Chain A
Amino acid sequence: MSRLGFVAFAAFVVFVAVLPTFVSDFKAQQYAYVGIYLIALLGLNVLTGYTGQISLGHGAFMAIGGYTSAILMVGNEQFGGPIGGGVEDFWTIPVAGVVAGLVGLAFGLPALRLSGLYLALATFAIAVAMPSAIKRFADFTGGGTGINLFGKPELTGGLTGVTVLGRQLSFNDWLYYLAWTIALVAFAVAWLILRGRTGRAFRAVRDSETAAVSSGVSLARYKTLAFGISAAYAGVAGALFAVANTYVNPDTFPIALSIFLLVGVVVGGLGGLSGLVFGAIFIEFLPLWAQGEDLGSHLPGFLVDETKKPGGPAIVYGVVLILLMFVLPSGVGGLFRRVGEAFTRRR
């Protein structure tokens, strides 16, 4: 990273740190979700953007992380399972990352034989099967009723808020700082992985598998590794998602989530990291904006007034997505790159 890059990253960290002071308590929670989605998108971009493996099943890895976290916190003895629970939410997050990462590695092995669309279909199958699998093992997962975390002692904050470093934080602010601290660390880690030898190998696999093999890059090793890293990121995001939602159930991680994540990566820009923040904002806010929330007074009512035009918001969402892909075919990250190039050329 150039020195300017460091400065910019530091500026962004400062911005993230002070944002809650300027926004309402509730908005802080929405931005916490942006941080959570950012983590998942960083992981997915390692796999899809850098290594060229399309995954339509990352919601399932988030589900694994979310359930790991929820079960470790509350336990599943109440449903007849073997785990007693009682782990504080914070410590379940790394465990969730490891568990999801291991599942990702295991999935990476059969995925080696699949490429392109076939891999996308195989990963889609996990996303489809995941809700049913969770319900099937109801004595371990609580089935369709799900696991409630709200009001449990293992959930930090909850009703009362939490004191960190002598400062009293509301639950929403706590979620915000928790999510963004992890997101920024995850961002730095992803950058470290991708800048060196491993990142070069990933890109070589993406650009041409034949060329990569002939340069001595082991396809098996790097594809599986990419799957593992990316699933671990999704697991961490899933754990945070469970904590932020204070509730998990099979439908908390629907197929649509997997698709939204892929949309987020494409909007953010494949093969870049900084644009992903926008992918995450897109996932969190566009469904609300399409309903006229936040932007209510800026959008014409006939577009978004649900009672007058049922289905309006869904159409707005679709149209915005299509327009965005027209205007920014390489995502927001691609826009950054083009703007940056224009700057450097002028200098």
Chain B
Amino acid sequence: MRKTSFSAVVLAVIALAALPGALASPATRAADPGITSTTILLGGTAPLTGPAAAYASVARGAKAYFDSVNAKGGVAGRKIQYKYLDDGYDPAQTVQDTRQLVEQDKAFAIFNTLGTEVNLSIRDYLNAHKIPQLFAASGATTFGRDVAQYPWTIGFQPSYQAEGWVLGQYLAKTKKRGKVGVLFQNDDYGKDLLGGFKRGLQSSGVKVVAAQPYEVTASDVSSQVAKLKASHAGIFAIFATPKFAIQAYVFANRLGWRPAVIDNAVSAASNIMLLASEGGKNKAVEGTVALNFLKDPTDERWKKDPGVRTYRAIMSKYAKGANVNDVYHVYGMAVAYETVSLFKRLGANPTRAGLMAKARSLNDPSNPFLLPGIAVKTGPGDGFPIQQGQLQRWTKGRWAPFGGIWTSKKL
């Protein structure tokens, strides 16, 4: 240390002491955290930056919906405040943000936190403290399956294994034989999809001949796509998040590879598909098959649908400047809608335990933001709120649904 160290340390002391909030008095613990006579505080994290930033719209859509409900007086006289922090899809940041939401902001429940690893990183903490981890935005099977071990955790969307299974079954039923090349994210999400997919293909003539993993931190997937092409697969399964799914389409096209493509729901939003199709130039996108459970706001069929009209009205009022065609906003509204109806059922004095009990006995056949025929349902032995979906094919710049509603077996 130099001669000046004295002034240095003195300055350090002064500045550290002056940090905002540093000298705030210790907060007193309320009997009922996160709930007052006029408010309910929900906390969560979202990837506002980083490799999964495309999903930020999920949180924004949910917030817009809560704001619209609050404008009409809220639920049982309470306004639902939804505070979400940026975790950049980094589980270490999620842990810190979630602890802040629980310990400093006193959130009533952690809601709609997005990402598989991200939700895994806080699950033990939340369950140990008996804080609801409500509608975790991940399709990892563990969130619906391990209810006994983690009673305070519940997911929302169809599980990735179930989705993979449906896609596998579809191929098994429609094709006599075929070779599939799979691109998957090297984590629980990608592996769940691949595992379910293989089970769906079981005892059919369609075989997975190559499976290439990529890391979520990778910059691109060009080498994986080249290897999959070299495997002479005629079917290309993309189990990747939006950024990488778009790359997969683009690279496949550049390599002159024209496989039949199946895509996973998390990357099958119309806006993502339009980006991937490079203004219609990329023919690899045409004919893609994916599973869907949300109403796509760009779909002509829903032009006069009350759900989509509500959606558009809320977006134009509470999320000015956001891209209304981004279907992840619809996901956010669907999950917020379900949350609002949960709180309505909870009555005048919501408790955390009561919230979980009601979340374990959902039965909503008509969430206006989900496709008709898709129910939100849970019960004893069933920890998966949504287990249904509809297959759709990308035709001339839009999704065209085909077949009926698929209900996944217990997976």
Contacts and interface: CB of A to CB of B under 8 A. Distances in A.
Nearest to B26: A24
Contacts of B122: 247
A340 B4 contact: yes
Contact of B120 (A2, A135, A146, A340): A146
Interface string B176-206: 0000000000111001000000000000000
Contact of A273 (B1, B17, B318): B1
B103 A245 contact: no
B21 A341 contact: no
A249 B121 contact: yes
B99 A281 contact: no
Interface string B86-101: 1011111101100110
Interface stretch (B7-15, B370-378, B379-387): B7-15
A29 B95 CA distance: 12
Contact of A274 (B1, B50, B188): B1
A188 B285 CA distance: 61
Interface in A1-56: 1-2, 4-5, 7-9, 11-12, 15, 19, 22-27, 29-30, 33
Which of B7, B24, B64, B320 gathers most chain A CB within 10 Å? B7
A306 B195 CA distance: 37
Contacts of A246: 95, 124-125
A150 B128 contact: yes
B50 to A, nearest CB: 8
Interface residues on B, range: 35 or more
Given A1-B1, A274-B1, A293-B85, A307 B15 contact: no
B48 A306 contact: yes
A323 interface: no
Given A310-B48, A340-B7, A256 B88 contact: yes
B23 interface: yes
Contacts of A310: 48, 56, 60, 322
Interface string A188-214: 000100010000000000000000000
A148 interface: yes
A271 to B, nearest CB: 10
Contacts of A327: none
A313 B23 CA distance: 25
A295 B121 contact: no
Which of B1, B125, B129, B321 gathers most chain A CB within 10 Å? B1
Nearest to A148: B124
B49 interface: yes
Does more than half of chain A's interface fall in helix, strand or loop, or is it mixed?
helix
Nearest to A150: B124
A254 B216 CA distance: 10
Contact of B186 (A128, A144, A257, A336): A144
B3 A23 contact: no
Nearest to A172: B103
Interface string B104-143: 1000000000000100111111001100000000000000
Contact of A4 (B6, B20, B92): B6
Contacts of A24: 21, 24, 26-27, 104
A259 to B, nearest CB: 12
Contacts, number: 207
Interface in B15-60: 15-17, 19-24, 26-27, 48-50, 56, 60
B9 A12 contact: yes
A336 B49 contact: no
A339 B4 contact: yes
A314 interface: yes
B364 interface: no
A8 B86 contact: no
Interface in B316-356: 318-322
Given A23-B22, A278-B12, A293-B100, A307 B4 contact: no
A247 B103 contact: no
B153 to A, nearest CB: 13
B217 interface: yes
Nearest to B88: A256
A15 B319 CA distance: 45
Contacts of A15: 13, 16-17
Interface in A167-204: 172, 191, 195
A291 interface: yes
Interface in A79-129: 128
Contacts of B10: 8, 11
Contacts of A294: 20-21
Given A249-B120, A252-B92, A295-B20, A277 B188 contact: no
Nearest to B129: A159
Nearest to A9: B9
A132 interface: yes
B5 A2 contact: yes
A151 B92 contact: no
Nearest to A170: B103
A314 B49 contact: yes
Contacts of A146: 91, 117, 120-121
A27 B22 contact: yes
A306 B191 CA distance: 33
Nearest to A341: B4
Contacts of A340: 2-8
Contacts of A29: 96, 99, 103
Which of B2, B5, B186 gathers most chain A CB within 10 Å? B5
A308 B320 contact: yes
Contacts of A339: 4, 7-8, 11
Nearest to B126: A150
Contact of A251 (B21, B56, B117): B117
Given A11-B13, A159-B129, A195-B1, 12 more contacts: A1-B5, A8-B10, A24-B27, A148-B124, A151-B124, A245-B121, A252-B91, A291-B85, A294-B21, A306-B86, A307-B64, A340-B5
25 contacts: A2-B5, A4-B6, A7-B6, A9-B9, A11-B10, A11-B13, A15-B16, A19-B16, A25-B26, A25-B103, A128-B217, A144-B117, A144-B186, A172-B103, A247-B120, A251-B117, A277-B16, A281-B16, A287-B93, A288-B85, A293-B85, A307-B64, A310-B56, A339-B4, A340-B7
In order of increasing CB-CB distance, the 9 nearest A-B pairs are: A340-B4, A8-B9, A336-B8, A144-B187, A26-B103, A4-B6, A26-B104, A5-B5, A150-B124
Interface of B: 1-13, 15-17, 19-24, 26-27, 48-50, 56, 60, 63-64, 84-86, 88-93, 95-96, 99-100, 103-104, 117, 120-125, 128-129, 186-188, 191, 215-217, 318-322
